[in-house]
Amino acid sequence: MSPSASTDPARIAEVNRPERVRAQIAELRRSTPAAEPAPPVETAERTAPYDLVFRGRRILTTAGITDREIGVRAGTIVAIEPYGHGLQGTQVIDLADDETLIPGLVDTHVHINEPGRTDWEGFATATKAAAAGGVTTVIDMPLNSIPSTVNGPALELKRLVAEGQAYVDLGFWGGAVPGNLNDLRELHDAGAFGFKCFLLHSGVDEFPHLEPDELEEYLRVLASYDALMIVHAEDSRAIDRAPQPDGDVYAKFLASRPRGAENLAIAEVIERTRWTGARTHILHLSSSDALPMLASAKADGLDITVETCPHYLTLMAEEIPNGGTAYKCCPPIREIGNREQLWQGLLDGTIDYIASDHSPSTLELKDLENGDFGVAWGGIASVQLGLSLVWTEARRRDISLEQVVEWMASKPADRVRLRSKGRLALGYDADLAVFAADDAYVVDAAKLHHKNPLTPYHGKTISGVVRQTFVRGRLVDFETPHGRQLSRGID
């Protein structure tokens, strides 16, 4: 069941209708007092060559972890010198011996849900959670908010509502749904980072899915202006014919979302990518069965990339308690053997990067009382925990922090063409996190910043603590939001 169980087509069209959204924008502008003129840009007397200097034995640059001094001016990394060079800054931060300075993570898969379902998650809470987890850029998904981001006015409304709320830098995906093919160019030109579509019911009725032939039609158009299509790849026919997920038994839920449904949909995306020459991306890969065909598509030179998520890499079906709806997500968390194959896929490059798919809802919608997997909302809240979760599992496998950061910062930044994010390098934004890799903590859902205190990781001990996060050279203080809104091709 989806929370908005209405299947009234009139309503589906209505909430996203551009005229209606324009009226919402006008109303919001009327009801919001005119913004104070922006305060003058701080022109505090520069008492040193750099605004901010980091000095440390463990700085994760593009040359690996090494001892360096980093100079930041006006939010940009402008100097990288050997340790002991003596860079002078208005503020100087000497890292402790157990701290590594890493580039802030770029999480390209976050559902913020505001406006419209702000009780599920909002810009302020989601971006605070991101900052606390070392994530300095998030790209917001086009659905679960109302309206969905499926036309120009809807993106304008999102930007308006997000204004002054974001603690980290924030970009937006557009949505590709039946009937909006002609709206995509406007979204693209307005700075959307690409377009998301589903190949089965999305979970919310106002964001309907594309059939494979429609996907192909959309890809042809997107290819003409080199835009990226990101796909939730589960096949609707396969899911319709699978057993129903009702009840609190996780194995029954797992059987209702078979690997075959993912495999079939991914095969469709691969072939439609081949036929159109479009750029595509497979979201939240769960079925490791699909790895060989993805590797084959890449070997053929198709411009297709793949992400997976911390929950598929750290959890396993065998350990999910019956009734544990905090673990429900689609596609589902599968068996331990599947998990091991996903790690292999990351290591051999078939999977390109890791994104959280942070997708919370209210506690009520998680049906905690009955634990019914057929009723509960599917989505896992984890944007604050992703780095520590993946690092905890990676270090057990002798995988380096450099590799983890590549999967969670530079690779996703490159795919969405963020030119100044994801690396600690000259000319890049000073988006940085101070990470204590050997520290550990116990996850307490109530202490996380996202809005509804539920996560499947509650009570787990994980390694790696983010002690401080900087966005464009400014420390995130969790009181004053300084995040900036990003546009594809500009930032």
User: Where along the sequence are the contacts to Zn ion (CB under 5 A)?
Assistant: 357
Whether 136 and 469 have beta carbons less than 8 Å apart is answered as: yes
In the complex with Zn ion, which residue's Cβ is closer, 206 or 357? 357
In the complex with Zn ion, which residue's Cβ is closer, 219 or 230? 230
CA-derived radius of gyration, the chain = 22
| φ/ψ of residue 123, rounded to 5 | -60, -45
Q: How far is the CB of 451 from Zn ion (least distance, A)?
A: 17
Single-letter amino acid, residue 269: V
Structure tokens at 378: 């599917």
Q: How far is the CB of 111 from Zn ion (least distance, A)?
A: 6
In the complex with Zn ion, which residue's Cβ is closer, 314 or 469? 314
Burial 368-398 (b: 16+ CB within 10 A, else e): eeebbbbbbbbbbbbbbbbbbbbbbbbbeee
Q: How far is the CB of 415 from Zn ion (least distance, A)?
A: 16
Name residue 340's beta-bridge partners.
none
In the complex with Zn ion, which residue's Cβ is closer, 204 or 387? 204
- Residue closest to Zn ion when measured from CB atoms: 357
In the complex with Zn ion, which residue's Cβ is closer, 52 or 106? 106
In the complex with Zn ion, which residue's Cβ is closer, 69 or 357? 357
**Distance from first CA to last CA of the chain, Å, rounded?**
39
Q: With CA atoms as reference, report the closest residue to 147 among 166, 109, 170, 174.
A: 174
Q: How far is the CB of 251 from Zn ion (least distance, A)?
A: 23
Whether 384 and 129 have beta carbons less than 8 Å apart is answered as: yes
Q: How far is the CB of 359 from Zn ion (least distance, A)?
A: 5
Q: How far is the CB of 309 from Zn ion (least distance, A)?
A: 9
In the complex with Zn ion, which residue's Cβ is closer, 153 or 203? 203
Q: How far is the CB of 354 from Zn ion (least distance, A)?
A: 13
| φ/ψ of residue 119, rounded to 5 | -70, -15
Residue ranges of alpha helices (H) inside 286-429 are 291-299, 310-314, 336-347, 386-396, 401-405, 411-415
